[in-house]
Structure 1
Amino acid sequence: MKRLIIASALTLFLSTTYAADAFTDAMQQAYAPYRVALFKTNNGTPDEATKSVQQAKQAWKKITDQFSAQPPAPYDRDEKFAATLETVMQVYNQAEEQATQKQLAKSHETLEKVREALADLRHRNQVIIYSDHMNAYHSVMEQILEENKKILAEPDGIQQLTAKAGVLIYLSEKLRTEAPEQYRNNAEFTKLIDSQKSSVDALREALFKNDAPAIHAAITKLKMPYSKLFLKFG
């Protein structure tokens, strides 16, 4: 699924258009409590996490009740539309149960499936929103976070990471250039996107110096600036 998010986003970046249909608008509004739920299951207390998942679930229930029987264009020709909405609801049910049982790491991992399901839904219907750019960056960033130690241990590890970082740098620039106008005019967005860009610039500088310890240190600092940006604007 992560490869699908990256491939679809990179393909569509060349001719980005933003949809303005009722379902996409509602989905983006429901994404706000979803982002909080992701954050709370990763950083909050069990009570905070459970409450946030329940709020995100309730927002999604409203969408399901409103649109599952009669989706607007362009989703009206998607045979999997209603099934996808139900799948997302099932994910929320599972994440809520896990959070209630204080299994926050599992709940967080389960919630990631919402991001993937909705990205796939939009891709099938040729709809692009800013979240798709955030998702593409996130997928490459997570790969680098997970694999950098193993890669750096290889003889050509720095060269391999430089290639991966090239993709990350490209996607990082897209986070800035593809931001909606209301984001670009927002002082908080500017501050957060500058912080996110600085983390990528630090990685690029470490790679240019062929400094393995500095490269690893820079990689460990990629996630927090992204997470702050995603929580508010992703």
Structure 2
Amino acid sequence: MKAILSMSAVYAACLLFVQDADAQRGPGFRGGRGPRGDANFVTDRDTFHFLLENHKQIKRQVTLLANGVETLTTSEDKQIVERLQEHVKAMYERVEKGNPIRRRDPLFDELFRHAEKLDMKLELVPDGVRVVETSDDPFVVKLIQAHAAVVSKFVEHGFAEAQKNHAIPPADSPSASSASKLTEEQQRKLLSFSAAFDRVYIPALALTNQQMQVPSEAAIARLRAWTDTKSSDVRELLGPVSSDSEPWTTIQNAIEQADALVQAGQLSEAHEALEPIRSLLTEERKRVSLTYPIDRLNEFHDVMESIVKPAMKANLESIDEQFLAQLSEKAVEASTLWSRVEQTSFTSPDFQLTDEEHQKLEQMIAAERKALTQIQHALRDGDYATILQAAIAIKPPFAKTYMLFGDFQDE
């Protein structure tokens, strides 16, 4: 942070924290020390509740600036003013010590991610706080302004608004000169290629993971034949933006390696050989600033695996504070990334989804959200066995979502 945490940022964070505090009260929560070892949790929570309960006595003015906002948060009640100013110190300390609130709200989580790009100037006034929040980053300016609008809703509606999640504002598309050398026609072709590739890639990836020998052989053969046929087209598309053809060569080599491993009956190894391909293509599309909906799933996948794999290896005796802290952090990140999936349209004809598959897609997206919520509940309640089960359970709905974009034919 470049300066002390702003009042609007603090107050918004506090209100979001209330959402988590209420959720954490469930069975067995009756005002103890709060989340593991957080001695200030109860004090901070009670202060946040006080602000929410008295939100009608808080006034707020927001002035939009070209590079951020200027806000004035005040009250005629001296006690409220004191409690508002207390929050500045409490929340600043949380940020400085790396002990922020559990950031379930995508907007606030994203704002925390860009904390180093914020410039915040605070002025204590007799009846409250004046803050100027700015940034040199255009996207962070959007975050600041969206955040300010949500805080105003908190002040207006209190608890009712604090229970909601809030969307991340869309980033501006980079200019063609700075972002991509692809023409519109090349971008359209690359989108079509990406969807067509995934239709043959996903079955090979999934079936090797499922240890299905004969179907894996058919799927990998189809994938290899398709990539060999399309190789020249891909090189033509990627040529204008790649210094060489290494990404596609790497992908072809991985497919050849996976093919050999499948023929040898080593399906797990074949799956691992195929796995990096999705990340390679995601990065290549990012390089040319191409928005491809399935990349939202690919981004979620990496974080999901960082939750599922440790949980599968863990046992009740191996769980410690560090394990829980890392799991909690990754669960928040996964929730944020899945919010982006929920905000993504998968209606492009390139995906060739039927009406039934579209309906199934919506069901699986909702199922993944439910699974992610269960992790939060498990972490709140603190039962280790339930935590591990909930962590592992986030993979099946994701896998079913992802597999909808593959053409499994008769495999």
TM-score bin (small chain): 0.7 to 0.9
**Cα distance in 1, alignment partners of residues 172 and 293 from structure 2:** 10
Following superposition, the deviation at residue 128 of structure 1 comes to 2.5
- Counterpart of 1:21 in 2: which secondary structure? helix
**Does 1:45 pair with 2:212?**
yes
Q: 1:60 to 1:16 in 2, by over 3 A?
A: farther
1:98-109 superposed matches below 5 A: 98-109=261-272
**Cα distance in 2, alignment partners of residues 159 and 22 from structure 1:** 43
**Does 1:200 pair with 2:372?**
yes
User: Is the Cα–Cα contact under 8 Å of residues 158 and 212 in structure 1 kept in the other structure?
Assistant: no
Which of the two has greater helix per residue?
A: 1
> Which piece of structure 1 moves more, 190-199 or 31-40?
190-199
Aligned to 1:115: 278
Following superposition, the deviation at residue 179 of structure 1 comes to 3.0
Q: Give ranges in structure 1 of 5+ residues lacking alignment.
A: 1-9
Following superposition, the deviation at residue 155 of structure 1 comes to 3.0
1:93-172 superposed matches below 5 A: 93-148=256-311, 149=314, 153-172=319-338
Following superposition, the deviation at residue 101 of structure 1 comes to 0.5
Following superposition, the deviation at residue 99 of structure 1 comes to 0.3
**Does 1:212 pair with 2:366?**
no
**Cα distance in 2, alignment partners of residues 118 and 79 from structure 1:** 15
User: Is the Cα–Cα contact under 8 Å of residues 319 and 384 in structure 2 kept in the other structure?
Assistant: no
Following superposition, the deviation at residue 156 of structure 1 comes to 4.9
Following superposition, the deviation at residue 44 of structure 1 comes to 4.3
Letter in 2 for 1:218: A
Q: Give ranges in structure 2 of 5+ residues lacking alignment.
A: 1-112, 115-138, 140-167, 174-183, 407-411
Letter in 1 for 2:264: Q
Following superposition, the deviation at residue 150 of structure 1 comes to 7.8
Following superposition, the deviation at residue 25 of structure 1 comes to 1.3
**Cα distance in 1, alignment partners of residues 225 and 190 from structure 2:** 16
User: Is the Cα–Cα contact under 8 Å of residues 208 and 270 in structure 2 kept in the other structure?
Assistant: yes
> Which piece of structure 1 moves more, 138-147 or 33-42?
138-147
Q: 1:192 to 1:76 in 2, by over 3 A?
A: same
Letter in 2 for 1:179: S
> Which piece of structure 1 moves more, 58-67 or 115-124?
58-67
Aligned to 2:395: 223
CA offset digits 1:118-140 (Å, max 9, x no partner)? 12211222223122211111111
**Cα distance in 2, alignment partners of residues 60 and 43 from structure 1:** 23
Q: TM-score, length-normalised on structure 1? A: 0.83
Which fold has the larger relative contact order, with Cα–Cα distance below 8 Å and residues 6 or more apart in sequence? Answer: 1
**Over aligned residue pairs, what C-alpha RMSD do you find?**
2.7
Aligned to 1:6: none
How many residue pairs match? The answer is 219
**Cα distance in 2, alignment partners of residues 106 and 94 from structure 1:** 9
